[in-house]
A = this chain, B = another copy of it.
Amino acid sequence: MKKGILYGVGIGPGDKELLTLKAVKTLESADVIALPDSLSSKNRAYEIIKDYINGKEIIYCTMPMTKDKEHLEKSHNESAEKIIKYLDMGKNTAFATLGDPSIYSTYMYIHRIIENKGYEVCMVPGVTSFCASAARLNMSLSDGSEPLIIIPASYKDNKELLRMDCNKVLMKSGKNISKVKEEINQCGLTDKTYMVENCGMENEKIYKDFNQVGEESSYFSLIIVKR
């Protein structure tokens, strides 16, 4: 029997209308839907794609918010096994991942496990949170010959990169917002910094003045620092 294909579908950061035509087509034609099951992204991913699920079976893949490698590896393997059960039945499975699958998605860990076992995998790119946030701020991220650095929340030495002569994006900085605010301030960049919290969602908040940002912030906070 022909094995099913795993599709990693980027569904954008929040606004349903930022789904691509290809994402909609892939979700609609899949036999099974897989969704990340973590406190932060479960409901958000479901909300974005719920119009295209049409009663299909949903596989929830636990994505623990931990840095413990063994724990992570175990849960990625378990998620991969759950999906493989369906692929072995010949069922195409669409894994919905926030933003774009190539940019810091936990989906990729599962993608690589399943690909290494010889199954066909296929990525559908999506709109990133930083492009969507720049659009909400009505500004560019980079022009002309300016480089752009994307810094993930778990990066250790923000200040080193903040001091580079280029534009910066800080992903998912909400959890450490006090630390990040201080670093940006110490680098003298506060008046060149902008933030979008929960981009494209009902509770979206746009900060054109970074001084207005408080000591607490949503997990889905995206910071743009212009050179």
Contact = CB atoms under 8 A, between A and B. Distances in A.
A122 B136 CA distance: 8
A146 interface: yes
Given A16-B21, A101-B140, A125 B132 contact: yes
Interface of A: 10, 12, 15-22, 24-25, 100-105, 108-109, 111, 115, 121-128, 130-132, 134-135, 138-152, 154-156, 161, 166
A21 to B, nearest CB: 5
B121 A125 contact: no
Contacts of A108: 140, 143
Contacts of A156: 145
A123 B135 contact: yes
B20 A18 contact: yes
A147 B151 contact: yes
A145 B134 contact: no
A143 to B, nearest CB: 6
Contacts of A17: 20-22, 25
Contact of A154 (B105, B145, B148, B154): B145
Nearest to A10: B131
A190 B166 CA distance: 25
A10 B125 CA distance: 14
Contacts of A12: 20
A174 B128 CA distance: 25
A143 B21 contact: no
A107 B122 CA distance: 31
A127 B100 CA distance: 9
